[in-house]
Amino acid sequence: MPEYKELRLIAIYMYICKLYDLELQYTCQRFSNNNSPEFTDKEVLTIYLFVITQQQYFQIKQIHKFADEYMRSWFPKLPSYAAFNNRLNRLSEALRVLATGLFASFIPDDCDLQISLTDSMPIVTCKGKNRKAKVATEVVDKGYCSTKNMYYYGLKLHLLAFRRPGTIPFPEFIGITPASENDLTAFKNLFGDYICNRAVFGDKIFSDEPYFKIKQSEQNIEMLTPIKLTKGEPEIIRQREKAFRDLYSAAVSTIRQPVESFFNWLNEKTKIQDAQKVRSSKGLDVHIFGKIAAAFIFLIF
């Protein structure tokens, strides 16, 4: 490997060692005789994150093959692919903690803490209107993505992010729901009780005036969305208000648009939307939170 990649490998390993000793070890403790394996959890996490960020290999088989061919001098105890995959699945909760911890640790100075953006993206385990889910059926279900005109089985990744003027937003919270979950319902369950004193920009599905009127009085949360047409509204009022509504909706959409750029960036760096080769619920957790962690490790290093 080139020297600059070796330095990044060392930096990622040292960072993982620090986090593992502080917190991650408590999510994957072993209570067997093999509680101190020769090939450590720190090495598993380092290889996974390094190969994704520096080599752009996204499948675990590809990651293991690269490590076997080019990183043996660094990791002489690297096990077989099957053992590596099993070890990685056992670290699914550690990757979840790592991913969410990265958000809190590296909030950029240019984040606007009073303006948030929210949206969701699909995580696809199989797609097609008449396809049936065969993997992780206890956590995935069938949904429809209107932006891609696609029926799929999988999950939704819900994002609440701080606005950053002129660039992509920075995540504050990320949550996972089955694909059929309505975005508004997910917002209420995942984020609604944990934020305050801010304006949130979303699309039309987040229009719920009674709910956000209560949230505004209790938590000072204001939800701003493109204006949704009222069923049965007289045509004369609709025409009279059209210019204002179009301008307002365009302004809200312009502010909200960077959240879509964030999803595009995340998918470009990690291929997180494509989970069609995942074969278990823990593997799906590794796919989602491992890819999120890798994306932000890429930014840090």
Are 266 and 280 in the same domain? no
Please report how many Cα atoms fall inside a 13 Å half-sphere around the Cα of residue 72, on the Cβ side.
Answer: 6
Are 247 and 157 in the same domain? yes
Query: Phi and psi of 97, rounded to 5°?
Result: -65, -40
Provide the β-strand partners of residue 121.
157
Q: Quick: pLDDT tens for 48-82.
A: 999 999 999 999 999 999 999 999 999 999 999 99
Are 181 and 282 in the same domain? no
Are 16 and 82 in the same domain? yes
Q: Would the pTM of this model clear 0.85, i.e. be above it?
A: yes
Stretch 20-30: mean pLDDT, rounded?
A: 84
Are 127 and 211 in the same domain? yes
Number of residues written out for the chain: 301
Are 163 and 15 in the same domain? no
Q: Residue ranges of the alpha helices (H) in 71-129? A: 81-90, 92-105
Closest CA to 120 of 93, 95, 96, 154: 154
Three-class SS of residue 165? coil
Neighbours of 82 (CB within 10 A): 9
The number of domains in the chain is 2
Asked if residue 162 has pLDDT above 70, the reply is yes
Write down the pLDDT at residue 35.
63
Q: How far is CA 95 from CA 38, 62, 106, 122, 149, in A?
A: 21, 19, 17, 20, 31
Q: Give 34's pLDDT tier (boundaries 50, 70, 90).
A: low
Q: Give 180's pLDDT tier (boundaries 50, 70, 90).
A: very high
Write down the pLDDT at residue 57.
94
Write down the pLDDT at residue 112.
94
Are 131 and 235 in the same domain? yes
Rounded Cα distance between 88 and 94, Å, is 10
User: How many helices (H) does the chain have, and how many strands (E)?
Assistant: 10, 6
Query: What is the overall mean pLDDT for the chain?
Result: 90
Strands 150-163 and 170-178: antiparallel
Q: Quick: pLDDT tens for 234-264.
A: 777 778 778 888 898 999 999 999 999 999 9
| Burial group, residue 106, by CB count within 10 angstroms (0-12, 13-18, 19+) | exposed
Asked if residue 83 has pLDDT above 70, the reply is yes
Are 134 and 65 in the same domain? no
Instruction: Provide the residue type at 170 as one letter.
Output: F
Q: Give 194's pLDDT tier (boundaries 50, 70, 90).
A: very high
Closest CA to 173 of 154, 192, 155, 145: 192
Are 59 and 85 in the same domain? yes
**Angle 112-168-107 (CA atoms, 0-180°, nearest 5)?**
50
Are 206 and 144 in the same domain? yes
Three-class SS of residue 141? strand
Are 146 and 98 in the same domain? no
Write down the pLDDT at residue 130.
67
Asked if residue 165 has pLDDT above 80, the reply is yes
Are 243 and 286 in the same domain? no
Write down the pLDDT at residue 26.
86
Domain assignment of residue 246, given as a range: 110-270
Q: How far is CA 274 from CA 41, 200, 277, in A?
A: 26, 28, 8
Asked if residue 29 has pLDDT above 70, the reply is no
